[in-house]
Amino acid sequence: MSPRKSAAEAAGTRTRIIECALALASTDGLEGLTIGRLATDLGMSKAGVIGHFGTKEALQLAALDAAVQAFRLRVPARVAGARPGVERLARVFAEWVDYMRDGEAPGGCFLTSVATEFDGRPGPVRDAVLAALSAWSAYVTGEIRAAVEAGELPGETDVDQLAFELNGVALAADQAIQLHRDPAAPSRAQRAVSRLLAPGGP
C-alpha cells in the first residue's frame, strides 16, 4: 500500500468516526459519546477509534468543529448573496429555524444543546463552544450595524440588545420544536424576527 493511499484511507476513517460521533452527540450530547458505542457502530476496535484522536476530549472537539462547519454551510453560507442588513438578518434567522424544523439536526441545534451541556464546565470544549457562539454573535451584530448604517433600523438601535433578542427567538424556537413539538413554532419565530427588524422596532 502506498503512503498516499494509506494516508487517504486514514483520513477517510477519521471522517467516518467524526460523522458517527456527531450523529450520536446530536441526541446523546458530547458527554454521551463513548468509544465503545462508536466502535460498535463503526465495526471497529476501541483502539482503532481512539487511535485517530488520542483522547475522548479530542474526539469531542473534532465533532464540535464538524458541527460548526456544517452550521456555517447550512445557515450563513446560504444567505451570503443577500443584501447586508435587515434582508440578510431576516433570511439567516429563517434558515436557522428551517434547519431546526426540517430535522437536519436530530437533537435540535447542536451548538445550542452543547452550550447548555458545557456552560458550567471549564475546559477546552467549553472554550470552543464559546468561540463558535461568539463568532455567531459578531456576525449578527455586524449585520445589525449594517442595517443601522443603511437607515433600515433607527440610529439609536441598541445593537447588542437586538442581537440578544434575535438569538433569544431562535433559542425559544429550538425548544418549542424539539421539546414541545409545536408545529406553529417556526411561524411564531418568523413573526417575532420580522417584528424585531421592523423599522419602528418591536
The CATH number covering residue 15 comes to: 1.10.10.60
Last residue within a domain, chosen from 32, 59, 86: 59
User: Quick one: pLDDT at residue 19?
Assistant: 92
* Whether residues 31 and 85 fall in one domain: no
User: Quick one: pLDDT at residue 156?
Assistant: 96
Q: Which long-range contacts (CB under 8 A, 24 or more apart) does 131-137 make?
A: 132/64, 132/68, 136/111, 136/167, 137/163, 137/167
Any domain includes 202: yes
Higher-pLDDT residue of 165, 37: 165
Higher-pLDDT residue of 174, 2: 174
Q: Kindly report the pTM of this predicted structure.
A: 0.89
Return the CATH number at 163: 1.10.357.10
Any domain includes 115: yes
**Percent share of the chain, pLDDT over 70:** 95
Cell representation of residue 70: 456544517
The answer to whether 156 and 200 have CB atoms below 8 angstroms apart is no
Any domain includes 65: no
Digit-coded pLDDT (tens) for 125-146? 999 999 999 999 999 999 999 9
Whole-number average pLDDT of the chain: 91
Digit-coded pLDDT (tens) for 96-124? 999 988 876 667 788 888 999 999 999 99
**CA 194 to CA 202: how far, in whole Å?**
9
The answer to whether 111 and 26 have CB atoms below 8 angstroms apart is no
pLDDT range class, residue 90, cuts 50, 70, 90: very high
Domains identified in the chain, total number: 2
What's the domain range around 6? 1-59
pLDDT range class, residue 10, cuts 50, 70, 90: confident
Digit-coded pLDDT (tens) for 67-77? 999 999 999 99
**CA 59 to CA 118: how far, in whole Å?**
15
pLDDT range class, residue 27, cuts 50, 70, 90: confident
pLDDT range class, residue 167, cuts 50, 70, 90: very high
| Nearest residue to 79 via CA among 97, 91, 62, 70 | 91
Any domain includes 64: no
* H helices, E strands: number in the chain: 9, 0
Average confidence (pLDDT) over 33-45: 92
